[in-house]
Structure 1
């Protein structure tokens, strides 16, 4: 569980609700069905038009990374690669065959299997880099879904405010309705700017950072596997991979 994300979401909610109460608007001032439809539903509609279905599905899948990032322990991975290198020098590459089936990560399993099969190091690098960059591109495109929503939401908030003011203008003859109507109009602006800056854009940035970190870790794995395939000294492998820490 990413505690910073949880704390951030809690503080964001507290900032909006607490600010509304302290300013005298109350919690009821934050609720507007019309603003919700215009901003939230409108933002989802916009991103659906922009995004291919497979990218949108991936975006829904990886959003959980904000609170539960993919497991990552680079020190443990380096230690594992160094151990495999030691085994390969003592027993040969076939000595690693028993390790392949125990790996849960498909990328790591595929790479180690190619090492065991004696594939040329340059071919291993090319195939793994193609897979690595392909997955990275798909995940970054999914993260940008939330970035796009963060761009659309404030604009739709302005549209909601304008529509609300248009409704107010129709009731100029009844001053008792003006205050409530104007307040409701600006609620849409709060929805748009608030969801963009307190949720959507931070989510996008967090996901892009996680994707880049995952790609860097896979680059480290590729370098380690290539070094094993080339029969390098385990100490040299450890020293080289330590630069990824």
Structure 2
């Protein structure tokens, strides 16, 4: 009787993260939570925004009263102007998805390449032992819609090349959508400082047109410069970092889905799980290719 015990390499073991499977009654049974599927918050983005905001806030407090840096009109000019300029440059339907893209940037979490290899090798073991149709019983456990669609096509007996073509088209469209979202954030990062300068010029014109009270010149100048400050802060703390985050997210998701495409093709062709693992290791950076297997197979006595 063959028994399988799946565990990730020691370097990746973490309480609450590893998933162990074993054979019970002819089925692969999961014992333990799936790989970070309950984790939805991208901490690096959230922590970066918080740390940046706190540092700027502390600097403002040390420089004087924080109330002096609050001007709703200046904020309206920067945010409203940058949003209007971006809306002018893109279709309305795409602009209306900006809030959803922002939410996904903050909340979405992609499996690491090592985790993705482990899941695909596990599916390869099921298909190798029990046949390709046995993966249908595992489909309820698969949370990734892209992987689920590929497994469904494989179970339905679709030609491997046709599956690869279908999934590749879907991946290309996903990359284009991410690129469109990144461009919107990049445009807002470009327009925000410009409208900050426009707001400053508006404030200077208003100040210079009313020179009767020389004591008000300093306060007027400070208020005029706030829009420049707001534009620089929003561009360099929010919009441009989110654009870069989407670019990195696109790369990570593209790598993950390329691994899925290759893995499903190997599984459908009936490759040995060890060969599937070795093939998928080529997607990883050399420093992440450990000597020990990502999954372990044990032959029971």
Aligned-partner Cα distance in 2 for 1:161–1:125: 54
Given that 1:58 and 1:139 are in contact with CA atoms closer than 8 Å, whether structure 2 keeps it comes out as no
Deviations 1:46-82 (A, max 9, x none): 1222222332243311312443232414333322222
Selected match of 2:272 from 233, 236, 239? 233
Measured in 2, the distance between the counterparts of 1:91 and 1:16 equals 59
- For residue 134 of structure 1, report the CA deviation from its aligned partner: 0.4
Instruction: Provide the C-alpha distance between the structure 2 equivalents of 1:133 and 1:243, rounded to a whole number of angstroms.
Output: 21
Work out whether 1:18 is the aligned partner of 2:58.
Answer: yes
User: Greater helix percent: which structure?
Assistant: 1
- Report which stretch shifted further, 90-99 or 235-244: 90-99
Q: Do the aligned partners of 1:85 and 1:234 also contact (CA within 8 Å) in 2?
A: yes
**Which residue matches 1:198?**
237
Structure 1 residue 125: Cα displacement: 0.8
Q: What 5-or-longer segments of structure 2 have no aligned partner?
A: 1-40, 285-301
The correspondence of residues 1-245 of structure 1 with structure 2, limited to 5 A, is 1-24=41-64, 26-245=65-284
* TM-score, normalised via structure 2 length: 0.75
Q: 1:177/1:105 Cα in 2 relative to 1: closer, same or farther (>3 Å)? A: same
Moved more, 4-13 or 159-168: 4-13
Count of equivalent residues: 244
- Mapped contact 1:29–1:187 kept (Cα < 8 A): no
SS in 1 for 2:94: helix
- C-alpha offsets along residues 99-126 of structure 1, whole Å, 9 cap, x if unaligned? 2344332211111111112222211111
CA RMSD, Structure 1 to Structure 2 (Å): 1.8
Moved more, 30-39 or 177-186: 30-39
More strand by share: 2
Contact 1:115 1:225 (C-alpha < 8 Å) held by counterparts = yes
Of the structure 1 ranges 88-97 and 29-38, higher mean CA displacement relative to structure 2 is found in 88-97
CA distance in 1, matches of 2:211, 2:280: 71
TM-score of the superposition, structure 1-length normalised?
Answer: 0.91
Deviation for aligned residue 1:19: 2.2
* 2:110–2:253 Cα contact (<8 Å) kept: no
CA distance in 1, matches of 2:156, 2:75: 57
Report the Cα distance in structure 1 between the residues aligned to 2:101 and 2:283, rounded to whole angstroms. 24
